[in-house]
Structure 1
Amino acid sequence: MEKLAEVALLLDIYGGLLTPRQRDVLDLYYNYDLSLAEIAEMHNISRQGVYDLIKRGEQALYALDKKLNYYRRWTAFEDGINGVIQELECICKLPDESFAESPGEIKQRLMNIRQRLMDLGDTWIGRLEHGV
C-alpha cells in the first residue's frame, strides 16, 4: 500500500515530465486501479507491454526524485505540519483554567508553533529557490 501512495504522489509531482503514454498508463494503474489486461486493451498493446511501461515509468519517477528530492521534502513538510496540528489540538484540549493560571506557558507554546511554521516555510521556500 505504501508503494502505491508513493508512486501516485510521485506521478502527481513529476508526471508532466514522463511521456504521455507512460503518464497515462501509470495513472490508470496507480490512480484508477485498472489491471494490466484492462490497460492493455485500452492501449491496444500486450500486458507485457503495459508492465514494461509501468516499470520504465516508475524508474523514471524515482530517478527524477533522486535528483530533485521534492517527494522527500514534501513528506518532511507534511510531517512538520502534522506536528504543528497535533500541538494545537493539545492546546485546544487544555482546560480553561490552564489559560488563566499559566498564560505565559500557553503563549510560549504558541510562539514555538509560530517558529516551527516559519522554519517549515523558510526551509521549503529556501530549498525551492536554491534548487537544493
Structure 2
Amino acid sequence: MRNKQSAFSLAEILVVLALSAFTLLLTVSPLENSINGLQEKIFWQSFKQTWTNEIISSSKFKKVHTIAFKNNKIVFSEKNNRKVMVRLPKTMSIRRYESISVNDTGSISGRTIIVDSTLQDKPYYIMIQLGWGKYHVTH
C-alpha cells in the first residue's frame, strides 16, 4: 500500500506568494512616504537650529557669515571657511543658487528662497526678512 501524504500544490504556493508580495507592496509605499516626511521635518528643525546659531554667532563675535543655498545643501560659513553644512533630504531641492551675507551685527538682507519638495503639492518659500535675521517658511 502507498502512503498518500498531503501537501500544497505548486499553484497554491504561487497564489500565497503573490498575495504576500501584494500585501507587502501595499505597506511599503506608505511607510516610505512616512519616512520621507519625517526626514523633511528633521531637516527643518536642523535648519532652524543652525540658522539661529549662525545669526547669534555673527553678532556675538562681530564676524561676517555667509549662507549659501545650493541644490541639495545649505552651507553656513564664516569668512569663506566651511563651517556647518545642512543637507536636504532626497525629496527636497533648492530651485536656484542663492548666497546671503550676514553682517557683523547679525543683520541680513531680505530674500525669498524656493525649496521644491516631491512630497508637497506646492514648494516651500523661505522668506528672509530684512534686518535681524528672521525668516518664515510657508507653502
TM-score relative to the length of structure 2: 0.30
| Larger strand percent | 2
Greater RCO (CA < 8 Å, at least 6 residues apart): 1
Q: Which has the larger radius of gyration?
A: 2
TM-score relative to the length of structure 1: 0.32
| Larger helix percent | 1
